[in-house]
Structure 1
């Protein structure tokens, strides 16, 4: 070992022995009198309820996308992470509207709680020395994955809700893998912290806090977390006020978000919803995700030249729109619900049952799944795959009309898929080809 290396080692040992060297690594740097195990435990208890519910509804959303069907898979090599996948049901018809509405709305409402929680524990992120033992190193690693994972999941989720597709890859794959990394770190963190959280909440003081009668002071032996400042600044608000600010922030976000999922008279209140604007009057006056112009659909392609190709079992039928209209027509009252959290009220669709179209190519008893292709020229989800249980549902239609009128170009004229409890992107618009039993 040379003199320079020996000198560096001596300085490092000195830093570790003499305490934190500077700035945020020193306990006295963080002077807010509000920080402490009680406030952190209250915020943590809220997240302990909210985050698992978000995780479960997120997994359900992933299952609803039928990712084990080839055309829908945006998550390669997921392996055992997809252990829970199941055939997404068609009943109740509002199921995806509910689960995805809860997922998105809850995620946005929890943002103030999450930020407050991170603020309350920020001194621990700079604790000194960085690593004290192997166990401490594992705990620090779990915190790193926890903080990084939660920021990634919330940030990508909010960007997706606002239709800001800036991701370097598929949002579905990134969000899916990120969720599993985050929830793993979350479980480890809870295992370390749940005893302290329970002790803090059981220890009383909630009534005093809410009455504004809490006491603040320097760190003492009763603070096992190291969050209480040894020299706190003069308080400018109570913990009751801090909790009130966080709660008010969450309520405001709820008020300007939930209407996009609930609909009705609350829809105009969804100020943050990208599809919360007035869609206009008339039978086709409800929310649209992608317009015909935005994905390269030309009127000439969807006019008299349009043909529907139905294939399967070695057979093929080519139908004009008039021939499709001549087939038995059926109706279904169904909503459209999208991954971004917005949804429509039930619309009255009419068209040909998918099971009847399957019968045209010989599948009369138990129609199989179907591979759906669109005339869409750009963007994602130009094709999709539906399961056999979706095809067999009598409400699953190749819709030609909505609310008594022909579909508008933006709603998929001349024909689109509508399936109960189906994510909106799989209700394919501008359909040109249906292939039953192949590529499914």
Structure 2
């Protein structure tokens, strides 16, 4: 039963993780790690619709990944005698199986440990999380595929050999050990049962449900938000218009109030000549209000109401008819995301804004004052704050 659950759920966690890599824009060199040779999904420009697509992707990747932790541990516990067989290898076929098992178990435990530390912003492992997590995923994928090929027939045969409903009705007193076979998992002289199979499934399922309650609120919001007590960005931050999660403060980014004062100008490039605009001039342009999420790679998200100038209106203002992509530069000091490149489909969406306000008030400095990018459906880290310039790159 544990294997059947993992057979369905682990591919979801894996695929959503790989899609997150695509969402960062590998054709612009923005995904981490950058050079993965042929170990990647086909490149495509990440869509903006539905606007919650990345929120769903990362909610599934992180949330489901955490929910599966009790099930993974229970699955490993159920087959633990296999790890200590002696001699460990009896044939070439078994040697291949043991190698795949090492990749499977080592890979899934590595992904769980580094993933949990990452969402807690605890990088005690001393290496790049993104690089290690990506390559670790492919090690796990190799082990998983090999293990599925070998073990699915065993799983199907075992599930068919016993009625699930009959097992669910069994009490502890009626619980008998499995018939001995060549798996080596049944004790030679088993002691009387202390828990039924129903009880074991309930214990593990209850643990998974408990983790889900502690996790889901970071993505769904609502009344479950207050239950996300284990996640640093998962709880409510109050009712104020700017009082919601901040992933990177202005102090951490090296942006000061002096830089965003009256002397701030937005520079638009790509037309016949650069165009500079003050915040007052931007406010004088037609304003659009949309409700969009910020969805972080760590799994948390928040939905707010943003007001600002459509990015395609800024493109028209600089006199550019069509673009292949656009580069946004931030006032943030040099780092991985002080420059972000967006494909044309993201910049031309009708809800893509240079946001000047949130929830009816001006942005706070920590949320990107004087202006930030808000585009539907993309990773939150690309919703660039403290925008300094936009360069429209023509086809």
TM range (shorter): over 0.9
Q: Once the 2 structures are TM-superposed, how far is the Cα of residue 299 of structure 1 from its aligned partner?
A: 1.2
Quick one: which of 348, 352, 359 aligns to 1:403? 359
CA distance 1:179–1:231, shift in 2 (3 Å): same
Counterpart mapping for 1:266-281 below 5 A: 266-281=224-239
Q: Distance in 2 between matches of 1:312 and 1:110?
A: 48
Pair member with larger Rg: 1
Runs of 5+ consecutive residues of structure 1 not aligned to the other structure: 1-41
Quick one: which of 309, 332, 336 aligns to 2:267? 309
Quick one: which of 327, 331, 353 aligns to 2:310? 353
TM-score, reference length from structure 2: 0.94
Q: Distance in 1 between matches of 2:318 and 2:125?
A: 41
- Whether the 8 Å contact between 2:372 and 2:384 is mirrored in structure 1 is yes
Q: Once the 2 structures are TM-superposed, how far is the Cα of residue 185 of structure 1 from its aligned partner?
A: 0.9
The answer to whether the aligner puts 1:132 opposite 2:90 as a matched pair is: yes
The answer to whether the aligner puts 1:216 opposite 2:176 as a matched pair is: yes
How many pairs are equivalent?
393
Query: Equivalent residue of 2:27, what SS?
Result: coil
Query: Equivalent residue of 2:38, what SS?
Result: helix
The answer to whether the aligner puts 1:389 opposite 2:389 as a matched pair is: no
Quick one: which of 65, 75, 85 aligns to 1:117? 75
TM-score, reference length from structure 1: 0.84
Q: Which residue of 1 aligns with 2:12?
A: 53
Q: Once the 2 structures are TM-superposed, how far is the Cα of residue 205 of structure 1 from its aligned partner?
A: 4.0
Query: Equivalent residue of 1:79, what SS?
Result: coil
Q: Which residue of 2 aligns with 1:97?
A: 55
The answer to whether the aligner puts 1:369 opposite 2:328 as a matched pair is: no
Q: Which residue of 1 aligns with 2:2?
A: 43
Q: Once the 2 structures are TM-superposed, how far is the Cα of residue 66 of structure 1 from its aligned partner?
A: 1.4
Runs of 5+ consecutive residues of structure 2 not aligned to the other structure: none
Q: Which residue of 1 aligns with 2:132?
A: 174
Q: Once the 2 structures are TM-superposed, how far is the Cα of residue 219 of structure 1 from its aligned partner?
A: 6.6
Instruction: List structure 1 runs of 4+ shifted beyond 4 angstroms.
Output: none
Q: Distance in 1 between matches of 2:146 and 2:387?
A: 47
Q: Distance in 1 between matches of 2:326 and 2:392?
A: 4
Q: Which residue of 1 aligns with 2:119?
A: 161
Q: Which residue of 1 aligns with 2:153?
A: 195
Q: Which residue of 2 aligns with 1:239?
A: 197
- Whether the 8 Å contact between 1:218 and 1:230 is mirrored in structure 2 is no
Larger mean CA deviation between 226-235 and 46-55 belongs to 226-235
Q: Which residue of 1 aligns with 2:386?
A: 430
Q: Once the 2 structures are TM-superposed, how far is the Cα of residue 422 of structure 1 from its aligned partner?
A: 1.0
The answer to whether the aligner puts 1:62 opposite 2:21 as a matched pair is: yes
Q: Which residue of 2 aligns with 1:329?
A: 287
- Whether the 8 Å contact between 1:370 and 1:388 is mirrored in structure 2 is yes
Q: Which residue of 2 aligns with 1:84?
A: 42
Query: Equivalent residue of 2:294, what SS?
Result: coil
Cα deviation code 1:392-427 (max 9, x no counterpart) = 111111111111110011111111000000110000
